[in-house]
Structure formats: structure tokens, C-alpha cells
Structure 1
Amino acid sequence: MMWFSPSRMEAEGTTPDYRFSLANERTFLAWIRTALALVAGGIAVDQFLTDLTWGLRTSIAVALFFSGAVCALRAVHRWVVCERAMRRGEDLPSSPFPAMLAVGTAVASLLVALAIVFGVTR
């Protein structure tokens, strides 16, 4: 697995312009910040929305935790795929993941908003 083997990555193609590698790394870090924000959101839902029913609160929090974990794993996978493509001189791959993450986050936000507005409480 190239995630943990820099020497295997270096064996792929030729070294790209360092600016592109650094931009790829900044994108990776942005995805990691997003993952951390999703985890923090899950903690906030669980700890601060205590008036919500236990099932709803727990479901939203777990969905946010799961999304954060998926986002973190996707970040490292995307970094490897893009780095490899740059080293090989290939086009960067497209991905539906940003749209899926945006929709998932919007759904979680709407669930919380609806629960608060309609008073789904214990």
C-alpha cells in the first residue's frame, strides 16, 4: 500500500514540479481539517443537543463520526492517486466524493435544524 511507503511512490514515474506536490499536500490537509470538523460536529451534537431524543441525537452524531472517518481515509487515498498521476504525467482523476460529502453534510444539518424547529425532544 502506497499510503505508508514513500519509496514506492518515488519509484512511480518522474518527480513532478514541487509546487504541484505541495498543492496536493495542501488539498490533503484541507480534507483532514474537514474530517476533524465532522468529528467535532458529532461531538457537539452528542454533548450539546441533549434535548433531542437519544436515538436522533446518537444517529446524527454517529453519522458525522462515520463521515469524518471516511473523509480522512478518502483524503489519503486521493493524495496518493493524485501524486501518482502527476508522477506519471496523467490527468488527475475526477471524483464524486466532494458532492457526496456536501449532500451528506447538508442532510445532517437539515435533520438537526428540523429536530430543533419541531422540538423533537425527550
Structure 2
Amino acid sequence: MVSRLLKYIRIGPMPNTGSVARDLLASERTFLAWARTGLGFIALGVALEKVEAFAAISPTLFHLSDSRTKVAAGVLVGSGSLCVAHGTQRYFSTLRLLQEGKFRPNTGGVTLMAVTCIAIAVSGSILVIENEATKAKESSKITAQI
């Protein structure tokens, strides 16, 4: 198992004909961009969970119900993990294709990333609007009691 993994990861020197070195370096930069984006999503998910812990202490902070926060944080961490996994898989598949003198555009990964970002933005907007509506209802109940 380990030897198979090392065979997949370790690749010997390649002849630098044409633009091979430039293409490989571009592929590495692209992988790092995918990893950076994924880590950003993961960090945002962890931060959301930590902010919720502080919101329980201070009622003036933005506050969602605990289950919604956990779901939102989980979605962000999961999306980030998938982003890093896709970037890693894409890097190694591009490396193999470049060895064969071929290249495959990354239409699937770009589409998936765009859909994920749009879904997270829409879901986040819905959560914020719903939260503000709940706060307004609670505020009107309090003023009606006074």
C-alpha cells in the first residue's frame, strides 16, 4: 500500500522540452491556490463555530441557533476539505497528463467551485435574513410587553 502510494507521488526527472517546466510550475501554483482556498473555507468554518461560543456569552453579538451554526460550520469545513482534495487530485492528474504531452481543462472543478460558492453565499444570506427577522419579532414582543 505504501509503496503504491509512493509510486504515485514520486516521479522521476522529466526532460525540459518545450514548456514542460513552465507548465509544471503553473500546475504547482494552481494546486497551491486550491489549497489556499480550501484552507480559507476551513478557517471560516472554525471561526464561525468560535464566534458562536462568544455570542452565547454576549447577547449583542450576531447569534444563530446552535444547530444552524454547526451545520454552517460543517458545510464550510467540508467544502474546504473537498477543495483541497480536488486540488491535490487535479495536480497529480495534470502531472501525469503533462508527462504524456497532453492537457485536460479543469471545467468540472471550476464549475463545482462556482456552484459551491454561490450556494454558500445564498445560504448565508438566508440565515442572516432569517436571523434578523427572528430578532425583530423578539424585539417587538419585548416592546409590546412594556
Q: Same fold (TM over 0.5)?
A: yes
- Determine the structure 1 residue equivalent to 2:15: 15
What does 1:25-36 correspond to in 2, within 5 Å? Answer: 25-36=28-39
Is the contact between residue 32 and residue 72 of structure 1 (CA under 8 Å) also seen in structure 2? Answer: yes
- Determine the structure 2 residue equivalent to 1:47: 50
**How far has the Cα of 1:69 moved from its partner?**
1.0
Distance 1:108 1:26, change over 3 A: same
**How far has the Cα of 1:10 moved from its partner?**
2.6
- Determine the structure 2 residue equivalent to 1:69: 81
Structure 1, residues 26-63: CA drift from partner, whole Å, max 9, x if none?
Answer: 00000000111110111222222541111111111101
**How far has the Cα of 1:4 moved from its partner?**
5.8
The aligned amino acid for 1:15 is P
Compute the TM-score of the two structures, normalised by the length of structure 1.
0.82
Looking at CA atoms only, which structure, 1 or 2, has the larger radius of gyration? Answer: 2
Structure 1, residues 36-94: CA drift from partner, whole Å, max 9, x if none?
Answer: 11101112222225411111111111011111111111111100100111110123254
Higher RCO (C-alpha 8 Å, min separation 6): 1
2:61 is aligned with 1:58? no
Q: CA RMSD in A?
A: 2.4
Distance in 2 between the 1:67 and 1:103 partners?
Answer: 11
What does 1:71-90 correspond to in 2, within 5 Å? Answer: 71-90=83-102
Compute the TM-score of the two structures, normalised by the length of structure 2.
0.70
| Number of residues of Structure 1 aligned to a counterpart in Structure 2 | 118
**How far has the Cα of 1:95 moved from its partner?**
4.0
In the alignment, structure 1 segments of 5+ residues that lack a partner are: none
Distance in 1 between the 2:71 and 2:109 partners?
Answer: 22
Q: 1:112 is matched with which residue: 105, 116, 124? A: 124
**How far has the Cα of 1:97 moved from its partner?**
2.1
Distance in 2 between the 1:103 and 1:93 partners?
Answer: 18
The aligned amino acid for 1:10 is G
